[in-house]
Amino acid sequence: MKEVMALDGLRVLEFGQLVAAPSVGRILADFGADVIKIEPPEGDPLRHWGSGADGSDSWWWYAQSRNKRLISIDLKTETGQGIARELARSSDVLIENLRPGRLKRWHLGYEQISAENPSIVYASISGFGQTGPYRDRAGFGNIAESMGGIRYITGFSDRPPVRTGISIGDELAALQAVVGILAALHRRDQDPKRHGDFVDVALTEAVLSVTEGLIPEYLNGGLVQERTGNQLLRAAPSNIYPTADEKWIAIGANTAGTFDKLVEVMGRADLQSDIRFSTNEGRVKHVNELDEAIAKWTKQHKIHALVDLLAESGVPAGPVMDAEQIANDPQIQDRDMIQFASTAEGDRVGMLNVVPKLTNAPGRIRWAGGKVGQHTDVVLSEVLKYPQDTIDDLRAVGAIK
């Protein structure tokens, strides 16, 4: 019996490079979409980002391009552009994160593609969106994180703004694009004429969309949020605290119930009766004194004993973990979040499993990313019905690899 996957039958054409659009393609491919990734002859630059085995692509690449069919077309040639347009005519979705206007110059813009395939959902990810005075500016995730507010409020008040440690702007934009694509597909399937849509995702807006009270507090109260380190401005206590074995534990006891449980396990009934800490507003106002008392207590215990003690008491808490600790954590292991997939060379590459988990039609990793142009012949033969001699001729003139 054929395995059922949530996005079976959906064909996606990816003109993506690096992080944002390829992350969209990865998510859709994980759930069964036929994602055809078009790379230039030299390959996606992500192949060379981060660490990898000697003489091989980066391990990040193998995870990011998993479950996709990889073809290589030189879009700078008219012949290559024509092949791409043919593929777009038979696709449900097109995703791209090139600089605004580039695909249009190659006759692959939304107006051009939708004229030939009105049902296509065309998703563009760019630094600032397809309109506005910044439209034509180059924009990477770090610029979006800076202009979208996250950098300014991340870090400690007496130090410069810092990044989060990952390409959070790109990943947030990818998630927003997936939401937009699925919403547009749902609407298209309710439309008797099956008209598609254009999904315009700006990296900056994707970042801004998760900044919670940042903008409402400014618009309505004139408040400008500043950096507060690991403290949560709007609720307390919520911080990381040192332990006796020089580890760090995160504790979030910022509701009345969890705060009562925390001070009880601490043996500090005086904190519970202290008028300063009787409300969330009071705890936020006096958070430094409260954090100092909690830190003094956590320093008396080793990390694992603390985690167990707080778990038994119903207080949300957990260790600050590095990659090794995460990969070996029993919760991560039990939920099969660590997987290994085979490459075309027969190697096994480890990566995170699919998120989220569906019960009836789960996503899964079917293969790891591969070589430049690994699936060019099979895609052109299967999707466009090109005979092998035509494919050989295209390769000979440099239109494909």
pLDDT at 234: 85
Q: In what order do the strands lie in the sheet with 93-96?
A: 68-72, 34-39, 11-15, 93-96, 121-126, 197-202
- Could you tell me if 60 and 382 are in contact, meaning their C-beta atoms sit under 8 angstroms apart? no
Backbone angles phi, psi at 21, to 5 degrees: -65, -40
11-210+333-396: which CATH architecture? Answer: 3-Layer(aba) Sandwich (3.40)
pLDDT at 223: 92
Express each pLDDT in 279-338 by its tens digit. 999 999 999 999 999 999 999 999 999 999 999 999 999 999 989 999 999 999 999 999
> Minimal CA–CA distance to 248: which of 259, 237, 239?
239
* CATH fold of the domain at 238-242+248-319: formyl-coa transferase, domain 3 (3.30.1540)
pLDDT at 43: 93
- In sequence order, the 6+-apart residues with CB closer than 8 A to the CB of 299 are 241, 242, 243, 244
pLDDT at 1: 63
| Mean pLDDT (10-residue bins), the chain, 401 residues | 87 95 97 97 92 85 96 96 96 94 93 96 94 87 90 92 90 97 96 93 94 92 91 89 96 92 94 91 93 96 95 94 91 93 87 93 93 95 95 94 92
Express each pLDDT in 341-393 by its tens digit. 988 888 899 999 999 999 999 999 999 999 999 999 999 999 999 999 999 99
Query: Residue for token digits 């813009």?
Result: 109
Q: Which of 30, 34, 92, 170 is catalytic?
A: 170
How far, in Å, CA of 364 to CA of 339, rounded?
10
How far, in Å, CA of 316 to CA of 307, rounded?
9
Entry pTM: 0.92
pLDDT at 347: 84
pLDDT at 137: 85
pLDDT at 380: 96
| Pair of tokens at residue 336 | 């099969």
Each as own residue / partner, the long-range contacts of residues 356-362 (CB below 8 Å, 24 or more positions apart, any chain) are: 358/6, 358/31, 360/4, 361/4, 361/5, 361/6, 361/31, 361/32, 362/5, 362/6
* Residue ranges per structural domain of the chain: 11-210+333-396, 238-242+248-319
- Could you tell me if 123 and 96 are in contact, meaning their C-beta atoms sit under 8 angstroms apart? yes
Burial class (CB in 10 A: 0-12, 13-18, 19+), 46: buried
SS3 state of residue 63: helix
The number of C-alpha atoms within 13 Å of 185 and in the hemisphere containing its C-beta is: 18
What are the C-alpha distances in Å from 302 to residues 166, 215, 268, 326, 394? 29, 40, 19, 18, 65
pLDDT at 100: 86
Q: What share of the chain is helix, strand, coil (3-state, %, to 5)?
A: 40, 15, 45
Backbone angles phi, psi at 374, to 5 degrees: -60, -35
- Could you tell me if 197 and 179 are in contact, meaning their C-beta atoms sit under 8 angstroms apart? no
| Pair of tokens at residue 294 | 């909690």
What DSSP state is assigned to residue 48?
Answer: G
170 is catalytic: yes
pLDDT at 3: 79
